[in-house]
Amino acid sequence: MKSDNQEDEVQWPLGTQWNRTLLSPARKLSVHETLLLISFLFVINELRVRSDINWHQGDEFYNLLPPAQPNEYAGEIPGRVMRYHNGQVTEALGYRWYRGGFNEPAWPPGYVQVCNSDGSFSNEGESLSYALTYKQLAVFSCNPLLPIVVFNGDPLSAFSLPRTPLLFFHPPSQPELSQAVHPDSPMEQGPGPCKYVAGANPSWMPSLVPTTYSNPYNTNPSRGLAGELPIVLGLMAFSGPMNPGGEAVTRTFLGEGGHRGRWRDGQWHRTEAPQGYPRSAEETPRGFLVTVLCDPENEDSNEETLMQMEWSGVIVRESRR
């Protein structure tokens, strides 16, 4: 018997092409069916904080903060471009991240380029194609007392971006759903965002969100995590151990040795606290630049459908413990 918040699911086989005719045109698509049509590309780059500058002054509470100026970074470690479709994450062959070298006083913006499956380009002189960027944010973990800080933008190419704490909006239209936001997020009308999640005992805490964000007031069970896609993906990126080569992030999403990635079928398949957080206020903040892009191979991948996924859907559903 279904619970009140369950919808009729449409089971599509993996590898199904995005074809609207698979659904009856005679009726309006449900939110769940619309989400099945959605795909997007994303790439997660680890940001490298320079160690040869005197930026370690921290805030008034002695927390080290992520640098706000591009020249206070030593660049980034590019990740693989990946694709989300129908609850599965795979490597997006034929796409790669590109950013030019440092050009005082900042880096140029980065892009995801269309290329051959081996990362090369077809012919010299041909114009390059790029995937359309939907949204880009940076997510940092500073220390256990200042768990998560968000930049609304790319700190390598933009100056003095505001640094804000991780916030959660509790949408009145979706009780007990936690939407990860920053102050400029397109939230629906309702109370302002706060520093605790909407429902009690989320299955994705502490594996995605530290327990310090627990709700001290609401005893109704959590109904999932949604909101800004780059923030949610950034929280997932901390799951693996610190790895200078960046492959820990790849393994988190794509899996390894017969094990599948941790975010699949709309759920987060891990219960332990992340291994990638700084252990104390004496360690350098660690952060990722998360870029979400429309999928050039799917006509349903656009700003409208991605916004619907963020603000009308559930990115991480609750799972049984």
Q: Cis peptide before 206, with omega less than 30 degrees from 0? A: yes
**Whole-number pLDDT of residue 109:** 96
Cross-strand partners of 136: 291
**Whole-number pLDDT of residue 22:** 32
For residue 45, give the amino acid letter.
N
Query: Would you say residue 85 has pLDDT above 90?
Result: yes
* pLDDT tens per residue, range 188-236: 999 999 999 999 999 999 999 999 999 999 999 999 999 999 999 999 9
Q: Which residues contact 200 (CB under 8 A, 6 or more apart)?
A: 214, 215, 218, 219, 220, 221, 222
The token duo for 116 is 């051959």
Q: 155 to each of 30, 137, 189, 209, 287, how far by Cα in Å?
A: 38, 9, 29, 23, 11
Mean pLDDT score, 72-90: 94
Local confidence band at 32 (pLDDT 50, 70, 90 cut-offs):
low
Quick check: 35 and 306 in contact, CB under 8 A? no
The token duo for 11 is 């089971």
Alpha helix stretches (DSSP H) within 179-275: 229-237, 247-254
**Whole-number pLDDT of residue 128:** 81
Quick check: 177 and 171 in contact, CB under 8 A? yes
* pLDDT tens per residue, range 150-198: 999 999 999 989 999 999 999 999 999 999 999 999 999 999 999 999 9
The gap between the terminal CA atoms of the chain, to the nearest Å, is 20
Q: Cis peptide before 105, with omega less than 30 degrees from 0? A: yes
**Whole-number pLDDT of residue 123:** 58
- Least confident range from 25-29, 59-63, 64-68, 130-134: namely 25-29
**Whole-number pLDDT of residue 61:** 85
Mean pLDDT score, 31-51: 84
Quick check: 216 and 170 in contact, CB under 8 A? no
Query: Would you say residue 270 has pLDDT above 90?
Result: yes
C-alpha gyration radius of the chain: 20
Other C-beta atoms closer than 10 Å to the C-beta of 60 total 5
- In whole numbers, what is the pLDDT of the chain averaged over residues? 86
* pLDDT tens per residue, range 56-67: 567 888 888 899
Q: At what angle do helices 229-237 and 247-254 cross, to 10 degrees?
A: 110
Query: Would you say residue 7 has pLDDT above 60?
Result: no
DSSP string, 80-115: --EEEETTEEEE-TTEEEE----BTTBPPPPEEEE-
Quick check: 197 and 216 in contact, CB under 8 A? no
Local confidence band at 13 (pLDDT 50, 70, 90 cut-offs):
very low
The token duo for 43 is 């790439």
Mean pLDDT score, 103-109: 93
What is the SS3 assignment for 73?
strand
Local confidence band at 15 (pLDDT 50, 70, 90 cut-offs):
very low
* pTM of the shown model: 0.88
